[in-house]
């Protein structure tokens, strides 16, 4: 890539894939296929370097769901990597989905070096809990990777937000030790951004000198916090899914949301 060129990444989150049936009235196969078709049509390789998926790959962690999910994701004409979310099971995730060579043993945690940037993808799964956690081993691995970072910007990707995002029903299930993560990242000026999933809403927050951004789900969305809602009254709003398009270059990082299908494609009747 020539000097001044811009690298482009596609960001997906919260597929909640099921090989059969609906999830909260939405068709996860139709929504995922629409996303893949959109990427293949509009974001070809080599102009697009990578597609990243920040967790909740499946809604129910079964062999059948991961097998069918892998088959569909392999239709992507760009390389792709994925991270765990609270709906995933680590053992099945690692068995069925590809991992870069330098992953931390036992975790879906790894680094991807791209033109002009480094991406560090974290495994925030705390099995059996909706909230996330980075154990000392995972934080230690991250610190070691950051200590050998060069001048290229580093973008951190994980499922669980490390800070509150102003979402009363979702903030309690953020990364449980998010303060530890943010304190670690603050020691390394190369870290420029944190991208997370989990909340099914597009939010940007500034905390500890870092921008934290979340994304809409590929499948269904969480309601906005106003008017107030709770889990007993929870109903996904009629909002179309989106993907993130990330560009890195010329001294800046840009993240924009892009709708890839109408709400009616795989949406609830």
How far apart, in Å, are the Cα atoms of 68 and each of 34, 72, 97, 113, 180? 16, 6, 11, 28, 36
Q: pLDDT tens digits for 206-257?
A: 998 999 999 999 999 999 999 999 999 999 999 999 999 999 887 789 999 9
Average pLDDT, the chain: 94
What single-letter DSSP state applies at residue 7?
E
Q: How far apart are CA 121 and CA 97, in angstroms?
A: 14
> Is residue 9 predicted with pLDDT exceeding 80?
yes
Q: By three-state DSSP, how is residue 173 classified?
A: helix
244-259: b (≥16 Cβ within 10 Å) or e: bbbebbeeebebeeee
Domain ranges of the chain: 7-259
Banded model confidence at residue 3, pLDDT cuts 50, 70, 90: very low
Predicted structure pTM score: 0.95
Banded model confidence at residue 5, pLDDT cuts 50, 70, 90: low
The predicted structure's pLDDT at residue 67:
98
Q: pLDDT tens digits for 45-79?
A: 888 999 999 999 999 999 999 999 999 999 999 99
The predicted structure's pLDDT at residue 1:
38
Return the axis-axis angle of helices 28-42 and 63-73, rounded to nearest 10°.
Answer: 20
Percent of the chain predicted with pLDDT > 90: 86
* HEC sequence for the chain: CCCCCCEEEEEECCCCECCCCCECCECHHHHHHHHHHHHHHHCCCCCEEEEEEECCCECCCCHHHHHHHHHHHCCCCCCEEEECCCCCCHHHHHHHCCCCCCCCCCCCCEEEEECCEEEEECCCCCCCCCCECCCHHHHHHHHHHHHCCCCCCEEEEECCCCCCCCCCCCHHHCECCHHHHHHHHCCCCCEEEEEECCCCCCCEEEECCEEEEECCCCCCCCCCCCCCCCCCCCCCCCCCCEEEEEEEECCEEEEEEEECCCCCCCCCC
Q: For the domain 7-259, what is the CATH code?
A: 3.60.21.10
> Is residue 4 predicted with pLDDT exceeding 60?
no
Banded model confidence at residue 158, pLDDT cuts 50, 70, 90: very high
């Amino acid at each position: 890539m020539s000097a001044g060129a811009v690298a482009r990444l596609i960001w997906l989150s919260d597929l909640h894939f099921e090989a059969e049936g609906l999830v909260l009235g939405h068709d996860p196969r139709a929504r995922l296929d629409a996303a893949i078709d959109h990427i293949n049509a509009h974001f070809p390789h080599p102009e697009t370097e990578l597609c990243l998926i920040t967790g909740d790959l499946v809604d129910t962690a079964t062999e059948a769901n991961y097998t069918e999910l892998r088959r569909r994701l392999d239709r992507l004409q760009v390389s792709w990597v994925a991270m765990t979310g609270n709906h995933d099971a680590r053992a099945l995730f690692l068995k069925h989905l590809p991992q870069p060579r330098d992953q931390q043993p036992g975790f879906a945690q790894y680094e991807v070096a791209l033109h002009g940037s480094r991406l560090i993808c974290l495994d925030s799964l705390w099995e059996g809990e909706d909230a996330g956690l980075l154990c000392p081993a995972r934080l230690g691995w991250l610190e070691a990777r950051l200590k050998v970072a060069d001048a290229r910007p580093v973008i951190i990707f994980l499922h669980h937000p490390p800070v509150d995002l102003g979402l009363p029903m979702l903030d309690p299930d953020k990364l449980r030790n998010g303060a530890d993560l943010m304190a670690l990242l603050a020691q390394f000026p190369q870290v420029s951004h944190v991208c997370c999933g989990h909340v099914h809403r597009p939010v940007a927050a500034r905390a500890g000198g870092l921008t934290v951004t979340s994304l809409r789900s590929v499948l269904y969305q969480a309601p906005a916090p106003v008017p107030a809602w709770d889990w007993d009254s929870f109903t996904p709003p009629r909002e179309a899914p989106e993907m993130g398009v990330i560009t890195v270059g010329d001294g800046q990082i840009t993240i924009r949301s892009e709708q890839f299908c109408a709400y009616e494609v795989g949406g609830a009747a």
